[in-house]
Amino acid sequence: MYKMVTGLLFVFLVATVAQRQSSMSCAGEKNDAVPRKTRRSSAHTGLRIHWATDARGRDFLTIRGPNLPGGELKVWYLEAYCRPGSTDRNWRETVIGHETRLVSADKDGRRIKLRCQLKDGVVVDHVITAGKDEIDFRLIAKNPTNKPSLAHWAQPCIRVDKFTGRTQKDYLSKGFIFVEGKLARLPCQPWATKARYIPGQVWCPKNVDRNDVNPRPLSKIVPSNGLIGCFSADEKMIMATAFEPYQELFQGVIVCLHSDFRIGGLKPGETKNIHGKIYLMSADIPALLQRYGRDFPQQAKK
C-alpha cells in the first residue's frame, strides 16, 4: 500500500514539473504567446500625433503612422493669425502675434489639447484627435475682452515634401483642388502669376472678401468645395484637408498646402466654433468626397 501511494505521488510530481516546464520558453521566461496576441490586437494601429516647438520657435504638429508615405507629416500649427485687408499689404502688418501652449497630451499619441493666446486678447482652444486615417480638429475661439478682435483667419501649414517625395521645384503637379465638382490637378488654368509676393496660388470661396486673403497670386477660379490635397509619390494615397468655415485654399512656397480656417472677427464676448480634418487615405476620390460630405455637410450643400 505504501509503495502504491509513493508511486502515485511520484507520478503527480513528474506531471506537475512537466506542466510548469511547458509554460516556460527556451530562454527560461514564461511563455506569454496568448497575452502578446491580445496586446497586438488591442494596440492602436492608426495615426499618432505629437506637438512641439522647434529651435526656430515654430510650433509643429507631427503626424506619424505605419503606412504613412514618408513616415511622417509635419504641420506648422499654427503659422499665423491674420487681420483682414491682407491681399495687397505687407505681411508683417497682417499677422496678429500669438503664443501657443500645450495643455495636455495623451501618452498614446491619440489626443492633444492646445491653447493659443492672441496679443489682442482672443483665446483659441484646440482639441486635436488622431484616428485610423484622419486627424480631427475642434476649435473654440473666444473674445473675453471688451474690444472687437480683427482675427479673421489663421494658417495651418501642411508640409508635403515627404508625402509626395517631391521638392518645391516639382511638387505642384501632385496637388489638387475641386473645380465644378471635379478633381483638378495643379496647376489648373488660368494660373495667376502677379501679386505682392510670388510665387504660390490662392483660391478664395464665394463668401470671403477677395481683399482679405494671402498676398500671393489670387486665382480667378472659385473652388467648388473646401478640399485641397495631394497624391503620394506612388499615387496610391492622398492627403486632403478641409476646415469649416474656411478663408482660402493655398499652395505655398515651402512645399506646403493650406486650408486656412476662417474666424471672421470676434465681437466682445463672442465665441465661434471651427472644425477641421486632415485625411490620409487610399487614393479613392469618390470615398474622399463621401467622407467630406459627411464631415462638412454645410460645405457640401453649397
Contacts of 160 (CB under 8 A, 6+ apart): 73, 166, 171, 174, 175, 230, 239, 255, 256, 257
Reported as a single tens digit per residue, the pLDDT across 185-211 is 999 999 999 999 999 999 999 999 999
- In whole angstroms, give the CA distance from residue 217 to residue 257: 14
- In whole angstroms, give the CA distance from residue 51 to residue 75: 9
User: pLDDT band at 106, cuts 50/70/90?
Assistant: very high
Residue ranges of alpha helices (H) inside the chain are 2-22, 33-42, 91-94, 161-164, 285-295, 297-300
Average pLDDT rounded to a whole number, residues 273-277: 98
pTM: 0.85
pLDDT at residue 20 tops 80: no
Quote the cell numbers at residue 179: 473645380
pLDDT of residue 45: 80
Give the CA angle between residues 191, 197, 202 to the nearest 5°: 40
- In whole angstroms, give the CA distance from residue 228 to residue 230: 7
Give domain 48-300's CATH number out of 2.60.40, 2.70.98, 2.60.120, 3.40.50. Answer: 2.70.98
CB atoms within 10 A of CB 136: 15
Contacts of 181 (CB under 8 A, 6+ apart): 224
The domain spans of the chain are 2-42, 48-300
278 and 158 in contact (C-beta within 8 Å)? yes
